[in-house]
């Protein structure tokens, strides 16, 4: 008996409901958690990551069952034209890149290189490139095959990172991806493109099962492995669903609907583009995180965590609806719908703080003035990270603080490492009064002699690894500030991560380090 798409859909949701708690338990046991003590985190307790393993695992099981029992799926998975099979293999590689990033925080450039190499191979072997784009109101636009290949690679890799960037609140990325996949499934059913309908509908089922645990309050996160993989799969399925049918019902080779994929995932795409432009204008790396994504701005407007997610879901649903109309509709009514949709989007973006006139006045001048300081701070932190990555002794750490201070403007640092015994750095659990400690102090050599403490600002952070608490750090500022902005906290987090990595690297050999309990540098 051949199972229906509905039975596999339900089975996928059930399997994800079963697999997710298992993945959650393993992630907690191994210490694969998202730490709440960070500037960009909105949760209050450590939440396990790697939820994408449950989604992808369930999806693979369902595809295997479907491939063994449904002839059409068998053909596209490992038959004469295994397009879906190639896409799934690519998903496994993207998932692996995401896991490495979750566990060891890959360099953004290394991660991007791996993504583009994988996507390039998938586009080539699955023949996802195109040479003609159909745009409503303009007509067909043709270009060389190599350009279409590059656009397809850019689209899929861009989608993977767009979904990854928008994954900032409970259920946000999974819900938005699910709504976009619904649009893909509907278009695949109506055109019809059966493979697209099967592949997207089964993934929707798996995401529904995951949302049981990922919606607020989330007990597990997708992690980079999940968000990157979902974005990748959505990007591939978008290209398959946007293939333009010829008049005889046969899909036209190399011709796609250029509007449908952009509208189906307009929310993460726009958020990603705005983030890149915003960071470049401010003199920062496009890979540098911040707290100015759409969902952050909604919360800054007073919306609660849950209401911000619902607002984003509503916007994503609207985008999905309009994308289906773009794929199937014609005539003046469709044009009117696009005008209304565009006007509504403009109003929403202005509500979030974009496209305001003050940007071109004082706001723009201030933006230019801050570029130099932002670039200086980022370069200083980068220099400190590089130094820490090369150090094999905690005695050398004050040199890294000196480099970081050139951009971060702090005057004193007090770092305390916890020792568990036998001279090894790091403890499991929370520190107490009996915990052995090793102190490292640094003071800006420019701050010589007496200086007033009445303008002093002090802030403390924890130095935490995956399984250990390595210590705590205190920064002292003398410039009259009353706090740190979000970007400063994010930059300091990079230093803390580098310190934790260094502590983990040298802890096994710490017995040979000096027995002096306090190391001071002026």
CA gap 407, 484 in Å, rounded:
14
What mean pLDDT is reported for the chain?
Answer: 83
User: First-to-last CA distance in the chain?
Assistant: 78
Position 514 scores a pLDDT of 42
The stretches of 166-255 forming alpha helices (DSSP H) are 172-190, 194-214, 223-241
Kindly report the pTM of this predicted structure: 0.83
Both tokens of 408, joined, read 């971060």
- Kindly provide the b/e burial profile for residues 311-345, where b requires at least 16 CB atoms within 10 angstroms of the residue's own CB: bbbebbbbbbbbbbbbbeeeeeebeeebeebeeeb
Helix (H), strand (E) at residue 30: helix 5-30
- Is residue 236 scored above 80 in pLDDT? yes
Average pLDDT over residues 353-371: 58
CA gap 413, 441 in Å, rounded:
6
* Residue 24 neighbours by CB distance under 10 Å: 21
pLDDT (tens digit per residue) in 488-500: 888 888 898 888 8
Position 340 scores a pLDDT of 78
CA gap 414, 459 in Å, rounded:
11
**CB neighbour class for 436 (10 Å; exposed up to 12, middle 13-18, buried from 19):** middle
Position 465 scores a pLDDT of 75
CA gap 409, 487 in Å, rounded:
14
**CB neighbour class for 229 (10 Å; exposed up to 12, middle 13-18, buried from 19):** buried
Both tokens of 283, joined, read 């003199």
Q: Contact, 103 vs 32, CB < 8 A?
A: yes
pLDDT (tens digit per residue) in 28-46: 888 787 765 555 555 556 7
Both tokens of 189, joined, read 């059913």
Q: Which domains does the chain carry?
A: 5-265 (no CATH), 389-521 (3.30.450)
Position 513 scores a pLDDT of 44
């Amino acid at each position: 008996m051949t199972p229906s798409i509905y039975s596999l859909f339900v089975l996928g949701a059930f399997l994800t409901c079963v697999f997710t708690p298992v993945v959650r338990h393993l992630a907690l046991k191994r210490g694969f958690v998202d730490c709440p003590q960070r500037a960009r985190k909105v949760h209050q307790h450590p939440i396990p990551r790697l939820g994408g393993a449950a989604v992808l695992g369930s999806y693979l099981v369902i595809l295997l069952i479907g491939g063994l029992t449904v002839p059409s799926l068998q053909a596209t998975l490992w038959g004469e034209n295994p397009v879906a099979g190639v896409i799934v293999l690519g998903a496994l590689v993207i998932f692996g890149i995401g896991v490495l990033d979750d566990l060891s925080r890959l360099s953004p450039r290394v991660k991007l290189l791996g993504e583009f190499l994988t996507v390039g191979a998938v586009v080539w072997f699955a023949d996802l490139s195109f040479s003609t784009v159909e745009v409503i109101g303009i007509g067909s636009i043709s270009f060389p095959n190599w350009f279409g290949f590059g656009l397809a690679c850019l689209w899929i890799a861009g989608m993977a990172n767009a979904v990854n960037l928008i994954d900032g609140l409970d259920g946000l990325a999974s819900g938005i991806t699910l709504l976009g996949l619904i649009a893909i499934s509907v278009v695949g059913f109506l055109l019809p493109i059966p493979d697209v309908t099967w592949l997207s509908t089964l993934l929707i089922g798996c995401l529904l099962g995951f949302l049981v645990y990922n919606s607020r309050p989330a007990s597990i996160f997708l992690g980079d492995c999940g968000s990157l993989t979902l974005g990748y799969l959505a990007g591939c399925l978008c290209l398959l669903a946007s293939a333009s049918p010829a008049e005889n019902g046969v899909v036209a080779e190399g011709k796609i609907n250029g509007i449908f994929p952009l509208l189906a995932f307009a929310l993460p795409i726009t958020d990603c583009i705005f983030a890149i432009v915003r960071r470049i204008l401010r003199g920062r790396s496009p890979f540098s995180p911040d707290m100015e994504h759409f969902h952050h701005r909604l919360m800054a407007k007073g919306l609660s965590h849950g209401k911000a997610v619902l607002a984003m879901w509503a916007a994503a649903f609207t985008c999905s609806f309009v994308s289906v109309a773009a794929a199937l509709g014609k005539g003046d009514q469709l044009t009117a719908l696009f005008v209304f949709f565009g006007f509504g989007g403009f109003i929403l973006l202005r509500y979030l703080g974009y496209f305001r006139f003050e940007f071109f006045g004082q706001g723009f001048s201030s933006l230019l003035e801050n570029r130099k300081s932002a670039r200086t701070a980022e370069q200083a932190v980068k220099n400190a990270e590089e130094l820490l990555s090369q150090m094999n002794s905690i005695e050398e750490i004050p040199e890294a603080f000196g480099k970081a201070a050139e951009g971060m403007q702090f005057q004193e640092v007090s770092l305390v490492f916890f020792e568990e015994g036998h001279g090894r750095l790091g403890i499991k659990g929370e520190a107490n009064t009996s915990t052995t400690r090793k102190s490292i102090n640094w003071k800006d050599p420019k701050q010589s002699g007496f200086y007033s403490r009445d303008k002093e600002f002090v802030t403390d952070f924890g130095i935490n690894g995956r399984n250990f608490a390595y210590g705590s750090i205190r920064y002292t500022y003398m410039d009259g500030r009353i706090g740190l902005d979000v970007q400063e906290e994010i930059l300091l987090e990079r230093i803390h991560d580098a310190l934790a990595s260094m502590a983990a690297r040298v802890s096994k050999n710490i017995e040979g380090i000096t027995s002096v309990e306090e190391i001071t540098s002026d």
